[in-house]
A and B are shown apart, each in its own frame.
Chain A
Amino acid sequence: MKYIDEFQDPQLAARLLDDIRSAVTRPWALMEVCGGQTHTIIRHGIDQLLPDEVELIHGPGCPVCVTPLEVIDKALEIASRPEVVFCSFGDMLRVPGTGRDLFQVRGEGGDVRVVYSPLDALRIAEENPDRQVVFFGIGFETTAPPNAMTVYQARRRGIRNFSLLVSHVRVPPAIEAIMQSPDCRVQGFLAAGHVCSVMGTEEYPALADRFRVPIVVTGFEPLDILEGVRRTVRQLERGEHLVDNAYPRAVRPEGNPAARAMLDDVFETTDRAWRGIGVIPDSGWRLSARYREYDAEHRFQVGGITTREPAACRSGEVLQGLLKPHECEAFGTACTPRTPLGATMVSSEGACAAYYLYRRLDLPARSGAGAPTLEGSSVV
């Protein structure tokens, strides 16, 4: 359990919490779709500071976690080739494919390099014209523009030994899929702030209308999250379902037009599998026809690799709020961040890993079938 005095401005945090408490008259289930927000919520115990009526469901917002096992296996296959320099963000090193991870591939002699920016990978390609340099392009709308710009630059500058292994995902189709699920319990969304820094807020009013859910654009710091929750709860109590921006310091309604134009040029939407959830129509981006020659899946002919997810993993239920991480039989035993069975234990931004890192010592010991039910589980 964390304490309110750890907040940057404890008085403001206390005022926001008071306001939420005074507004709430019945149970509400809110979902955040952003791994950074999930991490902040668990790290600072925000879900425990909120009144019992307000439940936070940790949605599929961690890009590392939702990247399908199959794509990881393709990455491992490509990274193992002697002619390849495989570049990735550090988060992907420990994500297990079938049997191993990039960290092990490097130990076995693979040239795996961690870069801060995809442009660093392009520079490596330029400096090593006799090697094939591949960048692992995963992430939501926030990370897609940097990767798009890098492919655009490769083409513009004629750097042909560079390619991108693409597994980008988009938030609005995920919200749609979650709301269409028969078991859906979500009544309001905290939309991911930096996704909206790029995309703006134009995609959300249609979703808010159609599913009658408030969608509040929310930042990543503890106070931002409290403010996002406060605005969502206020709307719910008033029976409203509007798109609201609680993160205006970094989000403008139109987003970043230059970045959106680049996304439209370099990528096209495609159906994409989400680890722990399954295929969501139009939820991904792949390289458009003009850039197809920079697609690592084509260049290295790894399209034939298909992998099934382990059946023991219940992350799909966690991502829909039907199960809390510690209620899973495998949590902390068969499934840990080092040996994750699935999506949500994979990265520290996943709900299971965040519980494991920050809360496992506080959790009551599980006693067989009598798994503890959390206060919000009676919410329909």
Chain B
Amino acid sequence: MCLAVPGRVLGVEERDGTRMATVDFGGVVKEVCLEYLPDLQVGEYAVVHVGFALQRLDEESARRTLELFENLGMLQEEFGDPWEQAARTGQTEEAERAGRAAPAGGDDERAGEVRR
């Protein structure tokens, strides 16, 4: 849950007296609060945690991190359907308990499946 994801500011606006932005995380767009980085501008990157921009990032390092997170399936973990993920954690383990062995050499995919 401490995952903080780099995102790029697409637009900035005041809403209910609060500075908000639309932010792109490698294709997933979310509303993000800018109150802690009020001078963040459109086109800039920031580390975003649970909908809040916490620290500025330079473009190159932000892009590299996003690419890595995408490859590892971590964007899906952060922005996917949490109910489905929680349900799957239970189901996968129950399947294992029923005696279905994990596929040989499939450790990583399997681990990914548990977490997704």
Q: Which A residues fall within an 8 A CB radius of B? A: 8, 34-36, 43, 63-64, 89-91, 93-94, 103, 114, 116-120, 139-140, 142-143, 145-146, 149, 153, 156-157, 192, 194, 197-198, 220-221, 249-252, 256, 258-259, 262, 336-338, 347-349, 357-358, 361-362
Contact indicator A256/B37 (Cβ below 8 Å)? yes
Contact indicator A114/B51 (Cβ below 8 Å)? no
Q: Cα distance A117–B21 when bound, in Å?
A: 14
Taking CB atoms, residues of chain B closer than 8 Å to A220 are 3
Q: Cα distance A362–B111 when bound, in Å?
A: 13
A101 nearest CB neighbor, chain B only: B86
Q: Is B41 an interface residue (CB 8 A)?
A: no
Known: A156-B17, A258-B37, A357-B111. 18 other contacts (CB 8 A): A8-B64, A43-B72, A89-B1, A93-B82, A93-B86, A114-B82, A116-B50, A117-B51, A120-B51, A142-B49, A153-B18, A198-B54, A249-B58, A258-B35, A336-B93, A338-B89, A349-B1, A362-B107
Mostly, the B contact residues are mixed
Contact indicator A149/B35 (Cβ below 8 Å)? yes
Taking CB atoms, residues of chain A closer than 8 Å to B50 are 89, 116-118, 143, 146
B33's partner among A146, A347, A361 (CB-CB below 8 A) is A146
B51 nearest CB neighbor, chain A only: A117
Taking CB atoms, residues of chain B closer than 8 Å to A119 are 31, 33, 51
Contact indicator B3/A36 (Cβ below 8 Å)? yes
**A117-B50, A146-B49, A197-B47 are contacts. A91–B1 as well, Cβ < 8 Å?**
yes
Taking CB atoms, residues of chain B closer than 8 Å to A114 are 82-83
